[in-house]
Amino acid sequence: MIVVNDLMQPDQFARFRGIIFDCDGVLVDSFQANIWYYNWFKEQFGLPRMDPAEERFTHIQNVFESLRRIIPEGKWEEAFRLRETFDYRLVLPHITPEPGIFPFMTLLRDLGVNMAVNTSRTNTTDMLLSHLGMAGFFHPVVSTASVSKPKPHPEGVHLILDAWRMQPQDVAFIGDSSVDQATAENAGVEFWAYKNPRLTGALYVPDFPSLLRVFARGKRLGF
């Protein structure tokens, strides 16, 4: 796996006409917000706060799998009803954009590179992107609510490819979890691991400013 660095030749990115982003852990830093959210559910049932394994699990899985993991089976239906009435605006102040993401998205837009989101979130995705001023950068935005089979099934990526009228080789997927890696592999698109060296992909992205510098040199060179 190649680590993004300032010595890279930018022309190796010229073939990519679209980039798909995971949301949590890539576009936004929501780890602490996620902990706050799921601990709220545990409190409603008089349960102790999540342990580190539960924190990691709920950060990469969709809300239904997460609630099944942290709430006893006999309380699942009640937990799902609570989710439907929960005011997600309470979580938004705990979420911040990933450093350097706005300059990188702006450059991609200037270069004519399509951007989309494929996330395990459900009906909170549009609210979050709008709150952070990101909504106008991405089309389409594919969440668990948009598909019949969530990640790591490739249905979401296929929807994006169809919307863009592109082939898998035209696109890269940036993600930070094993679920993202499996999604990219299942869809046949190149995977770029973000801030997670335990993953396997064509590229390791330590941060967005590093990737921005490579793409900016490519823009100057006219790729």
Each residue's pLDDT tens digit, 169-206: 999 999 999 999 999 999 999 999 999 999 999 999 99
Q: What is the rounded average pLDDT of the residues 111-138? A: 93
Same domain for 11 and 105?
A: yes
What is the pLDDT confidence band of residue 65, given thresholds at 50, 70 and 90? very high
Domain that holds residue 157: 2-29+97-221
Q: Sorting pLDDT into bands at 50, 70 and 90, what band is 218?
A: confident
Q: Is the dihedral of CA 187, 157, 85, 87 positive or negative?
A: positive
210 burial level (CB within 10 Å; 0-12, 13-18, 19+): middle
Per-residue pLDDT band at 4 (split at 50, 70, 90): very high
Closest CA to 30 of 2, 73, 66: 66
Q: Which pTM was predicted?
A: 0.84
Residue range 9-61, pLDDT digits in tens: 888 898 999 999 999 999 999 888 899 999 999 999 999 999 999 999 998 78
In terms of domains, do 89 and 46 share one? yes
Handedness of CA 77, 80, 85, 90 (dihedral sign): positive
The tally of domains found in the chain comes to 2
Q: Is 151 found in the same domain as 66?
A: no
Angle 74-78-79 from CA coordinates, rounded to 5°: 95
Length of the chain: 223
Same domain? For 118 and 170 the reply is yes
Q: Are residues 107 and 210 both part of a single domain?
A: yes
The residue out of 93, 124, 140 marking a domain boundary is 93
Measured CA to CA, the distance from residue 23 to residue 33 in angstroms comes to 13
The Cα–Cα gap between 183 and 127 comes to 24
Q: Which helix (H) or strand (E) holds 140?
A: none
CATH code of the domain containing 193: 3.40.50.1000
Q: Strand 190-194 relative to strand 203-205: parallel, antiparallel, unpaired?
A: parallel
At residue 7, the pLDDT reads 87
- 222 has a pLDDT exceeding 70: no
51 lies in the same domain as 122: no
For tokens 């035209």, the residue is 170
